Amino acid sequence: MFGWLIGIVLRGIGGGKCRADRDKRESVPAGDNCRSSCDVPSLGVNSFFPESWRYAVMITAAMVFLGVFFRPFLVVSGFAALAVASRMYQRHIRFPLGIELGVFGTVICAVLYGPIMGAIVGLVAYPVSIVYTKEEARYLPVALLGIVVAAFAGGAVGLGSWNIVALGVGVTVLYDVLTGGLYYFVYRAPIFGGIVFGVTHVWFNYVVFSWLGEWVLYILA
């Protein structure tokens, strides 16, 4: 607001000065070569770079900067948001189905950026999601432990001789065996629910890694 007012004032002052110089030139004989400072063309940066170009350059530079230095954080945040969204149905369907994208995002980020970045996906997504789904928080430490193990397993093994489908399914099985065993022996959770979750979880992640795994890695690599 203040910058706008100052600009109006400066333009008013400049306009008055130029008008005064034009009045003086009209009183000077035609053969006089005197020129006012208003007649001197500006050779500043603005004459070479129009305002629209300057904005385009600044926006492009900001996008490059974010892409180079903050891309891992943007990708991890995106996968964490997808994982949260994929679990929202649990608020309305109180049945242990393994349809969620937490392991998928964890493995992809662990392969691309290392196990710590991969673990952040689940460490953010699971606590946030249970606030919405209103699930029992006592199971959360086991889920977080499982996702950390999954991230370090996926990051340590990497692709190498593995393809992304085999790695994703293997990490999913490891996560389900570890967390399912702890749920049963520590919390005495129903074994039938654990079996249903494990079967649907492995199947769902097989489908997701088969359809999207290679494509997502290609896009983000």
Amino acid 49: pLDDT: 53
What pLDDT score does 175 carry? 98
CA 52 to chain CA centroid, Å, is: 28
Between 149 and 1, residue with greater pLDDT? 149
pTM of the prediction? 0.69
pLDDT band at 157 (very low <50, low <70, confident <90, very high): confident
Nearest to 106 by CA among 32, 10, 23, 174: 174
Average pLDDT, the chain: 80
Q: For residue 185, what are its two tokens?
A: 């022996």
In the prediction, which pLDDT does 221 show? 79
Over residues 7-43, the pLDDT tens digits come to 443 444 444 444 444 555 555 454 444 444 444 444 4
CA distances from 38 to 15, 18, 21, 53, 113 (A): 10, 6, 8, 26, 58
Confidence of residue 77 (pLDDT cuts 50, 70, 90): very high
User: What local confidence, expressed as pLDDT, does residue 67 receive?
Assistant: 62
pLDDT of residue 40: 45
112 has a pLDDT exceeding 60: yes
pLDDT at residue 2, rounded to an integer: 39
The pLDDT, as a whole number, for residue 9 is: 38
Question: Binning pLDDT at 50, 70 and 90, where does residue 6 land?
Answer: very low
The DSSP result for 149-175, as a single string, is: HHHHHHHHH-STTS-HHHHHHHHHHHH
In the predicted model, is pLDDT for residue 166 greater than 80? yes
